[in-house]
Amino acid sequence: MTEMLKGIAASDGVAVAKAYLLVQPDLSFTKVTVEDSQAEAARLDDALSKSSEELQQIRNKAAESLGEEEAQVFDAHLMVLSDPDMIGQIKQNISDNKVNAESALKEVTDMYIGMFEAMEDNAYMQERAADIRDVAKRILAHLLQVVLPNPSMINEEVVVVAHDLTPSDTAQLDRNFVKAFVTDIGGRTSHSAIMARSLEIPAIVGTGEITAKVKAGDILAVNGIEGDVIIHPTEDQKANIVKIGEDYAAQKVEWEKLKHAETVTADGKHFELAANIGTPKDLTGAHNNGAEGVGLYRTEFLYMDSPDFPTEEDQYVAYKAVLEGMSGKPVVVRTMDIGGDKELPYLQLPHEMNPFLGYRALRISLSSLGEDMFRTQLRALLRASVHGNLRIMFPMVATLQEFRSAKKMYDEEKAKLVAEGVAVSDTIQVGIMIEIPAAAILADRFAKEVDFFSIGTNDLIQYTMAADRMNEQVSYLYQPYNPSILRLIKNVVDAAHAEGKWAGMCGEMAGDQTAVPLLMGIGLDEFSMSATSILKTRSLMKKLDTSKMKEFADRALTECDTMEDVLEIMKEYIN
Ligand code: PEP
Ligand code: MG
């Protein structure tokens, strides 16, 4: 039966394709006694050899599409699978206790996992525990004859349906086959949504119930522009979606004409439009969309894409590639922002009640666990600085003391490199992200010590509204046009200008077509966004007059009580 679900429009574009369910299957079983323990051991052998075959295939596919290094994690899994001690113990358990293979497998692997996890300070052992957990799940699935979903093996056009997608799940999606994705949870600023925009995969998040409503193979019509998905669409509905897709493609052709144009408003004022990137590979998208710089390089993806901490050399190579690739245009590199929804498999962070309010980003960099990683990153950045126009910024700064500590480490690493005779640029700017209300409120004091601000509204709005950016139940509180948010932004921009510094924005709000006129009026200098939003923003700015936008922003800041009031007066300025 045809049914429509509404979610949050997370990435523009449309698709009609079969559903591919990326959900964890039920792997529950009961412990039973068995008569024939040999037959049970044979079932185990069969599950082991099927798991091995499957892992080998996944490994080869990963090596092909992601590279040898990425494929190494599967070598570790294959090793677990052929560990004679562990497999011997499982078989022993079957024959001694006359239990089914499922229960013997669980008992023995749980024992190993517990043992490795107890070695809390040893990252290597923690990884082994994770490997065993993964492999045990695969063997169990074969014993229970349940198919585990595997996004990297998708080889036909599909719409991926999932409860949630982690950034690393999203990175694995092959654009040639994955035509869209739809999730139960998540908000517009969750990192999987942000990645979908840079990969140009249409996406809808936060539908609440898509996994409960859809079966594998059901046809879905996804409208990522409006945020709705139709299950079992009629022929008319399919044709309608195709038409929306064609109109959107025609609109994009118009925007593309502005690729080499300058960003100037109707009254001749220039604003800088930059791209947010996650890896050097994203530079292609930045160039194709006419970026005037990189306003946010999220370096944590370099850490997330690697099986272990990236070395100073690996990082130097990546930073140099980005700086050279931008040919002297500004590149703002953010130091690692691990934590929140971005985890590293090789860095075991404690489980937290509120990861977005916890141990993340600069808080890790300044702690004893993260200091070495942070200093390595700073050295790689400093060495790369001679290859372009580098700006460095620290994420999640709450206090001036944190900024001063980070800046001190930066100065120390710079002095060491200079003493070693290494060339370092002397025009590097060092700034901060404004993501925490405390820093936004105290912006006048920060402005005396930093070179620039970049406002991270994804976090700033979640912290100001106290509304988790991943939680669709409170997504109505993601209110970029609320006067409270506008006042904070104005405070930051004015504070920067009073000290002769610049203020940019790299949160999703910078590319939000409703917010752009307000931000122009507030006087923001630089707008950094998903590359795919740049040309439509340039097109919009060309039509607008800054003095009119200033009048609009002033009224929004002084006359309005609510976001709705702001949208109401907007009608007088934008048609
Ligand atoms: C932000 O918080 O607005 C931001 C740009 O950082 P991230 O989305 O990576 O948290
Ligand atoms: Mg942030």
CATH for 113 = 1.10.274.10
Take residue 475 and report the two structure tokens written for it.
Answer: 């997504």
Spatial separation of the C-alpha atoms in residues 470 and 340, rounded to whole Å: 10
In this prediction, residue 90 carries a pLDDT of 96
pLDDT 10s digits, 209-240: 999 999 999 999 999 999 999 999 999 999 99
Whether residue 410 is contained in a domain is answered as yes
Spatial separation of the C-alpha atoms in residues 285 and 111, rounded to whole Å: 47
542 Cα–ligand 2 center, Å: 29
191 catalytic residue (yes or no): yes
Which of 7-11, 96-100, 166-170, 338-342 shows the lowest per-residue confidence on average (mean pLDDT)? 166-170
**106 alpha carbon, distance to own chain's centre:** 33
Whether 139 and 155 share a structural domain: no
Whether 364 and 407 share a structural domain: yes
Task: Give the residue, 133 or 442, on which the prediction is more confident.
Answer: 442
DSSP 476: G
* Start-to-end Cα distance in the chain: 39
Q: Among residues 236, 184, 254, 249, which one has the least CA distance to residue 10?
A: 184
Domain that holds residue 161: 3-23+150-250
Beta bridge partners of 146: none
Is 360 annotated as ligand-binding?
Answer: no
- Segment of 53-57, 113-117, 229-233 carrying the highest mean pLDDT: 229-233
Whether 524 and 484 share a structural domain: yes
For residue 213, what are the CA distances in angstroms to 44, 147, 162, 229, 482?
Answer: 34, 19, 11, 11, 34
Q: Which residues contact 253 (CB under 8 A, 6 or more apart)?
A: none
Whether 382 and 443 share a structural domain: yes
Whether 243 and 264 share a structural domain: no
**Ligand lying closest to the C-alpha of residue 194:** 1
Spatial separation of the C-alpha atoms in residues 340 and 436, rounded to whole Å: 14
Check if the beta carbon of residue 333 is closer than 8 Å to that of residue 316.
Answer: no
Number of CB atoms found within 10 A of residue 35's CB: 7
Torsion of CA 332, 334, 340, 342, to 10 degrees: 90
94 Cα–ligand 1 center, Å: 51
Number of CB atoms found within 10 A of residue 320's CB: 19
Segment 472-501 mean pLDDT: 96
Spatial separation of the C-alpha atoms in residues 486 and 481, rounded to whole Å: 6
**435 alpha carbon, distance to own chain's centre:** 16
Ligand 1, CB within 6 Å, residue ranges: 296, 298, 337, 435, 456-459, 506-507
pLDDT 10s digits, 353-412: 898 999 999 999 999 999 999 999 999 999 999 999 999 999 999 999 999 999 999 999
Whether 57 and 154 share a structural domain: no
For residue 512, what are the CA distances in angstroms to 116, 203, 371?
Answer: 47, 16, 36
Whether residue 529 is contained in a domain is answered as yes
Given 189, 216, 250, the domain boundary residue is 250
Is 298 annotated as ligand-binding?
Answer: yes
Is 435 annotated as ligand-binding?
Answer: yes
In this prediction, residue 270 carries a pLDDT of 96
Whether residue 28 is contained in a domain is answered as no
Whether 229 and 372 share a structural domain: no
Whether 228 and 323 share a structural domain: no
DSSP 270: B
77 catalytic residue (yes or no): no
Task: Give the residue, 192 or 447, on which the prediction is more confident.
Answer: 447
Whether 209 and 351 share a structural domain: no
Whether residue 32 is contained in a domain is answered as no
412 Cα–ligand 2 center, Å: 26
Check if the beta carbon of residue 213 is closer than 8 Å to that of residue 30.
Answer: no
Whether 75 and 212 share a structural domain: no
In this prediction, residue 66 carries a pLDDT of 62
Given 193, 219, 250, the domain boundary residue is 250
**Of 77, 142, 506, 560, catalytic:** 506
- Specify the number of domains making up the chain: 3
Take residue 44 and report the two structure tokens written for it.
Answer: 């185990």
For residue 70, what are the CA distances in angstroms to 51, 148, 168, 198, 294?
Answer: 19, 20, 12, 21, 26
Burial class (CB in 10 A: 0-12, 13-18, 19+), 253: exposed
Residue 33 DSSP SS3: strand
Minimum CA distance residue for ligand 1 atom 7: 458
Ligand 1 test: best mutation among 356, 459, 460, 519, most atoms within 8 Å of CB?
Answer: 459
Task: Give the residue, 168 or 163, on which the prediction is more confident.
Answer: 163
In this prediction, residue 70 carries a pLDDT of 65
Residue where the block lists tokens 């998708």: 154
Q: Locate the ligand 1 atom nearest the alpha carbon of residue 395 and give its number.
A: 6
Q: Among residues 555, 550, 558, which one has the least CA distance to residue 569?
A: 555
In this prediction, residue 65 carries a pLDDT of 64
Which of 61-65, 318-322, 353-357, 426-430 shows the lowest per-residue confidence on average (mean pLDDT)? 61-65
Ligand 1 test: best mutation among 337, 488, 533, most atoms within 8 Å of CB?
Answer: 337
Torsion of CA 318, 324, 326, 331, to 10 degrees: 60
Whether residue 127 is contained in a domain is answered as yes
**Ligand lying closest to the C-alpha of residue 505:** 1
The pLDDT-based confidence of 168 (bands split at 50, 70, 90) is low
Q: Locate the ligand 1 atom nearest the alpha carbon of residue 507 and give its number.
A: 3
Q: Locate the ligand 1 atom nearest the alpha carbon of residue 457 and give its number.
A: 3
Beta strands in 184-335 (DSSP E): 203-205, 219-223, 228-231, 272-277, 294-298, 330-334
**Of 142, 191, 387, 560, catalytic:** 191
DSSP 349: P
* pLDDT exceeds 90 at position 183: yes
Which of 96-105, 203-212, 247-256, 304-313 shows the lowest per-residue confidence on average (mean pLDDT)? 304-313
Q: Considering the entire predicted model, what is its pTM?
A: 0.81
298 Cα–ligand 2 center, Å: 10
Q: Which residues contact 42 (CB under 8 A, 6 or more apart)?
A: none
**Ligand lying closest to the C-alpha of residue 397:** 2
Spatial separation of the C-alpha atoms in residues 400 and 378, rounded to whole Å: 19
